[in-house]
Structure 1
């Protein structure tokens, strides 16, 4: 059986009492006793029955016993209440960079600077013609006409208007009354007017006047038997409502070959300076009389000088081509990486503890879902685009506004005031006065030469009177030494030689009149040379 702590204490006390009693009966150690020497121990006797419990004094407390064996673990106690908040731990090492977040695309950056202008594309095919624009100085709208007679005419009285029977040409909008032969201006400007009227063989005279608002501008006349052509021309300003017509005195001949005609066309927009100058240019020309055979067919195969040709109407300007627009520049660079994801909710407070040791590096976090990135930086200007392919012809343009021509003009009107006898055949015909010369026009009076400094198509006209002291006169219009047109007369008395031409002139081309025979003139300017730019080229 097991000994309890109380029994162990009692037994220990009894051992102490036994030791004391033994010491009290021991013999004196100094006495020699050979008889009473202690023998061997006897066999222990049978233990006696327990005696009555003695009551002794309580002994001193014994030494502490050795620790007992570790007991079995106790039952887990209930969870204690939350402890106080511990001090913050030290900052851990920075974790590894997470993978790039999948943020929403950033806002589109501002538009990049325009790219460099691409190479000029090839000229496209001309588009279809646009509608006709309003009347302008350079627009295709012109005021022009050519009126003719198909039958002879005898005026009931002197200086009656000469009626016409047919318009060979009339620009749309031109106001010409055939019954009284009157042109009414509705496009103000400077006009060129020319007429050619044939005198029949049965009349002894014919006088023709070009009149503006009832006033004579230029006249032509002759007194002679047989057929004779009477021609003249003028350059005059007309304003809205002005009227011009031919007035005649004497019989007029013509037939289906149109020996009698009246022509006019708009030259340029009128200005105040031009109007003042042209007011002094109403010079009369006695024109073209030549003896012809009086046969009924009016056929002349020898020396008759026909009427001046009609200048052509300038063509319209071509449309301007348009180059192609270059391609759009490249897009800007992508936006920056999105911001880290949202931080999680805060956990509950832990137990109070000492600051923990610095933890190890955490594991790499999962890929976050970032917010949309900030707006990207403006992209660099795009590279020059490649040269585009040739474009398709454009659609027809809208009706253009009234154009305005350049004020740049070239025109002259040179005259002689005295007679001239050429020293040799076909010498240049010099002139003595310029009745009109547009600023910048190069005309040399000494040799009668016009030098072109504004390239274009020119109208050139001359009228030269043969002296009665000579039986012939030949006149050539020369360009750079080559004959363009020629006129002649072989007859006694005074006769007019006239002609005209429409020719292109380039820079520094030269034109002049060359004569063979005796030329007559006076202060009435029977001999003249006129030219003007019709349109530039």
Structure 2
């Protein structure tokens, strides 16, 4: 059997520190650090005082001439100057040859007499028509008139029973309708190109049915050339009566020309 010798170590006193060693070589650069957090915006500074105005600078050199502008409007012609003095011929002292006026021509024949003009230079348009016989119609039927009292300008047609504007302007229209029957209450519209402008109604209130009744209306319209105006029934079975004493009439005239 192998014997093991155990050495007993005694506690020793530490020795003195040795001399410092030589400086080591610098280490490698470390990795870049992370970006820091963005700071808050600072408070806007106060507006500074306005500085004094500086002295005016020297006048700069004159720039190049601009392009020629367009021609202006022609001015008003000047007054005609006095006529010149006629020249003289050579040594004989006679006036120069400037052309003598020719002899007067014989008078021409008289022209045809022109038509008479409108009074005051304004054109005229007016009409007045009368119904002398009764008429029964349905809604939309045109009232007819058999007597033309006035038709200045010829703008009312006896075939269509319509007024057609030939002179643009402001017109006045009036009409009267009559009825003596209690069985019908005629509704009559004044029309302008298919548009209703005013209405007249004859209403029977007496049960006897023999009272002479009339209704009238009037309107002022602005018309252009080609506009048409006429009267028409407003409901079916309407009856309008006409008499020799002009109880049912239609008229119109030009008030102001445009």
Higher fraction of helix: 1
Q: TM-score, normalised by structure 1?
A: 0.25
Could you say which structure has the larger radius of gyration?
1
Q: TM-score, normalised by structure 2?
A: 0.50
